[in-house]
Structure 1
C-alpha cells in the first residue's frame, strides 16, 4: 500500500459511520411514514393533487437533509489518506453547496406546477424536516461513543522501556 492510497480497513474504525448509517436508515423509515400520512391527509383535503403534494413535500423534507449525512460518509471513505481532511471538507462543503442549489431549483420548479397544493406541500416539507432532525437527535443520543474516538492507543507490546 502506498502513502497516497487509503487504508481499506480505516473506514471501519471511524466512529461516526454507524451513527450516520443508522440516522439515514431511520430517516428513510420516518420519511416514508410522513409521506404516507401526508398522502392520506392531502388526499382527504384536496384529492389526488393534495396527496401527491404531500408526498413530494415529504420527499423534499427528507431527501435534502440526508445529503449531509451522505456527504460525511462519502468524505470518510478517504480516511487514512494523507490529505483526508482536505478531501473530507471539500466533499462536505461541495455537497452542501450542491444541496443548496438543488433545493432552490427544486422549489422554483415545483412552485410552477399547476396541480401542486402549496399549503399541503409546505406543511409536509416542514414536518418531514423536523422529523429528520428528531431522528438525528434520537440516533445520536442513543449511540454510545467514546470520549476520544478514532484514536489508536499504545499497547503494552509497543511501549519500550
Structure 2
C-alpha cells in the first residue's frame, strides 16, 4: 500500500495554491506599496511553497528508500531530518529578511498566511479525492491464484 498518489496530488494542489497566492499577493502588494509589496507577495508565496512542498517530497523519498515501510526508522529519520533542515532554513530566512527594505513585511506575512492556509485546504481536498486502497493481498472469487 502506498500513499504516493495522495502526496503527489497534494503537491499539485499546493503548487496551484502557491501560484494563485503569488498572483493575488503580488498584485495586491504592488497596488499597496509598489515594488516592495510585489516582492513581499512573491517571496512569501515562493518560500511557503518550498517549505510546504518539502514535507511531501521528503515523505515520497522516504517511502521510496524504505520500499513503503512506514515503520522503518530510516523513514522517520528522513522526514525528521528534512523537518529540521526546514526549521533551520526558516530561521535563517527570517533573520535575513527581517530588516530587508526591498520587501514589504506586511505583504510578506499575509502571503505566507494565505499560502499556508491554502495549502492545508489543498491537502484536505487531496485526501478527500484520492482513492487509496486500505485492504491489500486478498483474493477475490475468479482471480487467478497468486504465486508466492
TM-score class normalised by the smaller sequence: 0.7 to 0.9
Unmatched runs of 5 consecutive residues or more in structure 2: none
TM-score by length of 2: 0.87
- 3-state SS of 1:157 partner: coil
In structure 2, the residue matched to 1:37 is: 24
RMSD between aligned residues: 2.2
Decide whether aligned partners of structure 1 residues 153 and 106 sit closer, same or farther in structure 2, where only a CA change above 3 A counts. Answer: same
Indicate whether 1:99 and 2:86 are aligned.
yes
- 3-state SS of 1:124 partner: helix
Unmatched runs of 5 consecutive residues or more in structure 1: 1-13
The count of aligned residue pairs is 144
Whether the 8 Å CA contact 2:18–2:49 is kept in 1: the answer is yes
Distance apart, 1:29 and its partner CA: 1.5
Distance apart, 1:49 and its partner CA: 1.0
Distance apart, 1:84 and its partner CA: 7.2
Decide whether aligned partners of structure 1 residues 44 and 84 sit closer, same or farther in structure 2, where only a CA change above 3 A counts. Answer: same
Distance apart, 1:23 and its partner CA: 0.9
Distance apart, 1:62 and its partner CA: 2.0
**In the aligned structure 1, how far is the partner of 2:137 from the partner of 2:124?**
28
TM-score by length of 1: 0.81
